[in-house]
Amino acid sequence: MDIIFYHPTFDANHWISLLQRQLPEARIREWRSGDNGPADYALVWHPPVEMLRGRTGLKAVFALGAGVDSILSKLKKDPDLLPAGVPLFRLEDTGMAEQMQEYAVSQVLHWFRRFDDYQALKLQAKWEPLADYEREDFTIGILGAGVLGGKVAESLVGWGFPVRCWSRSHKNYSRIKSFAGREELSAFANNTRVLINLLPNTPETVGIINSELVNQLADNAYVLNLARGVHLVEDDLLTALDSGKLKGAMLDVFSREPLPAESPLWRHPRVAITPHVAAVTRPAQAVEFISSTIIQLDKGQHPTGQVDLQRGY
């Protein structure tokens, strides 16, 4: 079996040695421009069109991340990016759920314990104990209840918060209230104090965190965007922060990355920022997932993780 690997920044040698350990029989190489040699499987991130165009014999392509929006948007512009009929797989969890749980739980607890308020008081040298917040007033609403959203929801239930999620189809998670579809988005938003976004970027979800949605949240709500920048209308967020509807926001992703220096988000006192690091691809776990998927595909089985190209995730 022949496997080609392309990532603009990852250390290809490291990935290839991890893959080789899992698939000792495979011939694995880093793809470079001009390489038209045989390939059964391709592992890619931001692949050049030339890499996969016209390849016959390819059995599957693996995206080296959870979100496939960049590859699908490139595919829309250039249908040659992926050979027709070849399945596209993405990483399911592979260590990202734990990272998302760490990020979400730490930030929710930060707001719940009023560390944002204490930080503001500290800047004024004020010693002032504040009233505790109650968990019952701290409903967490998670947009997206898939591999990552579902795990984040479970961890916040473990901390005793009321948790609800919103997805396309209803879920049957224990102790998590499930809402589904546009018709239930308002009911989901109503009384949500912390809105966490873990949706994929698709034409249906772009701009979903806008004034209309934010105005339906509880007063003094918070927004935690962990999915994609295009989900959030940044001007609407700033308006809601300045009007007092929103008390704070923590953003990991932005419509333009790196976030330009002139963005007012950098300077807003109630906006915290991380540079798209909420959950990164962990090579060893990703390779384990990909190898096991390849083995299943070679046996004619139907592993999980295949992207529905029509649905966009």
Ligand X SMILES: NC(=O)C1=CN([C@@H]2O[C@H](COP(=O)(O)OP(=O)(O)OC[C@H]3O[C@@H](n4cnc5c(N)ncnc54)[C@H](OP(=O)(O)O)[C@@H]3O)[C@@H](O)[C@H]2O)C=CC1
**Which positions lie near ligand X, rule CB under 6 A?**
66-67, 96, 144-149, 166-169, 198-202, 204-205, 226-228, 252-253, 276, 278-279, 313
Whether 231 sits among the annotated catalytic residues: the reply is no
Nearest approach in angstroms of CB 278 to ligand X is: 4
Half-sphere exposure (Cβ direction) of 283: Cα atoms closer than 13 Å = 16
Whether 276 sits among the annotated catalytic residues: the reply is yes
For ligand O=CC(=O)O, the closer CB: 205 or 281: 281
Nearest approach in angstroms of CB 95 to ligand O=CC(=O)O is: 11
CA 308 to chain centre: 17
Give the torsion sign (CA, 179, 183, 187, 192): positive
Position among 3, 61, 66, 72 found at the interface with ligand O=CC(=O)O (CB under 6 A) = 66
Q: Considering 29, 114, 268, 276, which one is annotated as catalytic?
A: 276
Position among 19, 39, 47, 67 found at the interface with ligand O=CC(=O)O (CB under 6 A) = 67
For ligand O=CC(=O)O, the closer CB: 225 or 281: 281
Q: Which residue is nearest to ligand X (CB)?
A: 146
- What residues contact residue 28 under an 8 Å CB cut-off, 6+ apart? 2, 3, 4, 5, 16, 19, 20
Q: Which residue is nearest to ligand O=CC(=O)O (CB)?
A: 65
Strands 41-44 and 27-30: unpaired
Nearest approach in angstroms of CB 281 to ligand O=CC(=O)O is: 6
Q: How far apart are CA 309 and CA 53, in angstroms?
A: 17
Question: What are the backbone dihedrals phi and psi of residue 4, each rounded to the nearest 5 degrees, phi first?
Answer: -115, 150
Query: Where does residue 163 rank: exposed (0-12), middle (13-18), buried (19+ CB within 10 A)?
Result: buried
- Does 259 sit near ligand O=CC(=O)O (CB under 6 A)? no
Position among 47, 65, 141, 150 found at the interface with ligand O=CC(=O)O (CB under 6 A) = 65
Query: Cβ(133)–Cβ(112) under 8 Å?
Result: yes
Helices (H), 180-300: 185-189, 211-214, 234-243, 264-267, 283-298
Q: Considering 46, 228, 256, 268, which one is annotated as catalytic?
A: 228
For ligand O=CC(=O)O, the closer CB: 268 or 282: 282
198 binds, among ligand X, ligand O=CC(=O)O, none (CB under 5 to 8 A by kind): ligand X
For ligand X, the closer CB: 83 or 95: 95
Q: How far apart are CA 299 and CA 91, in angstroms?
A: 20
For ligand X, the closer CB: 74 or 168: 168
Residues that contact ligand O=CC(=O)O, how many (by CB under 6 A): 4
Provide the 3-class DSSP secondary structure of residue 180: strand
Q: Token match 């004020």: residue?
A: 126
Residues 266-305 that bind ligand O=CC(=O)O (CB under 6 A): 281
Q: Give the CA-trace dihedral at 152, 155, 161, 165, to 10 degrees.
A: 30
47 binds, among ligand O=CC(=O)O, ligand X, none (CB under 5 to 8 A by kind): none
- What residues contact residue 98 under an 8 Å CB cut-off, 6+ apart? 151
167 binds, among ligand X, ligand O=CC(=O)O, none (CB under 5 to 8 A by kind): ligand X
- What residues contact residue 26 under an 8 Å CB cut-off, 6+ apart? 1, 2, 3, 19, 20
Give the catalytic positions in this structure: 228, 276
Residue ranges that bind ligand O=CC(=O)O, judged by CB under 6 A: 65-67, 281
